[in-house]
Structure 1
Amino acid sequence: MKKILLALLLLGATAGTASAQVEIGIKLSPSIAYLRADSPGVSNFKSEKSKLGIGGGLVVDYFFGQNYAFGTGLQLTSKGGTISYSGFDLNNEQKISLQYLEIPLTVKLFTNDITTDTKLYFQLGGKIGGVVAARIDGDKFYQGNERSRKHFIIPDAALLGGFGAEYQVGQSTKVFAGLSYHHGLANIDRYFDNDVTIKNGEVALDLGIKF
């Protein structure tokens, strides 16, 4: 984590000497999160309900061409959902809430102005991160015993795709709004047997400002 923060600080320092190439900002992302649960056996794991969440953090766009940028940052994201299953001596439904600290690794493509000071953008790539907090049925400790976070594998990775619009409101200030889809790639379950897979999914509204 210290290495990640150091890298972002170095990006910020670079922005001071190459402001024409690096844009830094913040964003807020209300989202609908869900879990993709599956198992081949009689336990019949499946997704039941999505959950509303909110996340946000630092946005860094490093431009390597007039309309092309490498998009990264550091963001806190809310994930989870409700899953159901059978065949265990436990409750057959779990409401799971997860928080991740994530780093996007994407390419952002910008159009020329479609109207005065307004561009469209398209974003494609992935993100990596790790779970920093978890609750099962609203509790940090599962059934009063071990921490809920221990039921989940810490690292996660996802594909990311999105689009939106960016509007220039000042000499170096821009606001943006867009939609993004996040498709989890890793099985995050470490509690059930090896045949069970639980993966994250998320659709987010991205609202932000760059300075």
Structure 2
Amino acid sequence: MKKSFLALLLLGASAGAASAQVEIGLKLSPSVTYLRADSPSGSSFQNEKSKLSLGGGLVVDYFFGQNYAFSTGLWLTGKGGSVSYTDITSPTNATPVTRTQKIGLQYLEVPVSVKLFTNDIATDTKLYFQIGGSAGALIGGRLDGEKRSTDPANNQETEAVKRFILPDAAALVGAGVEYQLGQSTKVFGGLSYHRGLVNIDKYFDKTRGIKDVSIKNNEIALDLGIKF
């Protein structure tokens, strides 16, 4: 009885290993990024302009069914945009001024998502749909194109990256087309939307005392890649 049960377990494990398939590839993702800015009416934070960015990295699809895959990887991603706000430069000068700030950020991201594939819609061609999220860590930043920035309130210079919190997270949805070139080579192209979930600002609240400011990343990306 024990031998039969052990044999059954081994058979099941072998079948699972045989049906599981891992596909690894690379992708390049030019994107349009912008910031969702919000604040109390007095400081009037708002999004001004989007930013063209470029990202990409490793893609790993682990299939747990014929048309279903857990998708992850490691991506280098550019984000940011321009925001404007109403500022009072110092306690001795109460005249409000409108400032515009161009923000450029770079993240190392790990996606956690599921891909759903259709059956062939044409020879060796499938549609895919992707849903999930991503977690990222800030590794670089610029304000108005510079790595260091001078605070207009006190004229102190600091690293631009220190104005933002380290972690970021986003919801992810996407869709595209995958084409089989050979026995194990596939190319794909699609669009994805990444909606930031985390307020990335720590400067205006902690340094300037402007409460309830929220700045979140948004990205629309064109995903082009190859899997081996």
Answer yes or no: same fold by TM over 0.5.
Answer: yes
- Confirm or deny: 8 A CA contact 1:70 1:106 kept in the other structure: yes
1:172 aligned partner:
184
199, 206, 209: which is aligned to 2:223?
206
Q: Following superposition of structure 1 onto structure 2, how do residues 106-121 of structure 1 map, counting pairs within 5 Å?
A: 106-121=113-128
* Partner Cα distance (2:35, 2:19) in 1: 40
Any gaps of 5 or more consecutive residues in structure 1?
Answer: 1-16
Corresponding position: 1:150 with 2:162: yes
1:18: how far off?
A: 7.0
Q: Give 1:40 shift.
A: 1.5
CA contact (8 A) 2:80 2:105 kept: yes
**Aligned residue in 1 for 2:212:** 195
1:46 corresponds to 2:46: yes
Task: Provide the rounded CA distance (Å) in 1 between the counterparts of 2:213 and 2:108.
Answer: 24
Higher strand share: 2
Q: Sequence identity, in percent? A: 68
Mapped partners of 2:190, 2:127: distance in 1: 9
Q: Which has the larger radius of gyration?
A: 2
Q: Which amino acid aligns with 1:134?
A: G
Distance 1:115 1:29 in 2: 25
CA contact (8 A) 1:41 1:195 kept: no
- Provide the secondary structure at the position in 2 that maps to 1:115: coil
The question of whether the paired residues in 1 share the 8 Å contact of 2:38 and 2:214 is answered with yes
Give unmatched runs, 5+ long, in structure 2: 1-16, 90-96, 151-155, 206-210
Correspondence for 1:104? 111
Aligned pairs for 1:71-150 within 5 A: 71-89=71-89, 92-143=99-150, 145-150=157-162
CA distance in 1, matches of 2:58, 2:196: 21
Q: How many residues align?
A: 195
Q: Secondary structure at the match of 1:87?
A: strand
- Aligned-pair distance for 1:87? 2.6
Q: Tell me the amino acid that sits aligned with residue 105 of structure 1.
A: V
Shift >3 Å, 4+ stretches: 17-20
CA separation of 1:85 and 1:52: change in aligned 2, threshold 3 A:
same
Quick one: which amino acid aligns to residue 141 of structure 2?
A
Match of 2:94 in 1: none
How big is the shift at 1:99? 0.3
TM-score in terms of structure 2 length: 0.83
Which whole-Å CA distance do the structure 1 matches of 2:196 and 2:80 have between them? 11
Distance 1:88 1:72 in 2: 45
Shift of 1:91: 6.5
**RMSD over equivalenced CA pairs, Å:** 1.5
Q: What is the CA-CA distance between 1:148 and the residue it aligns to?
A: 0.3
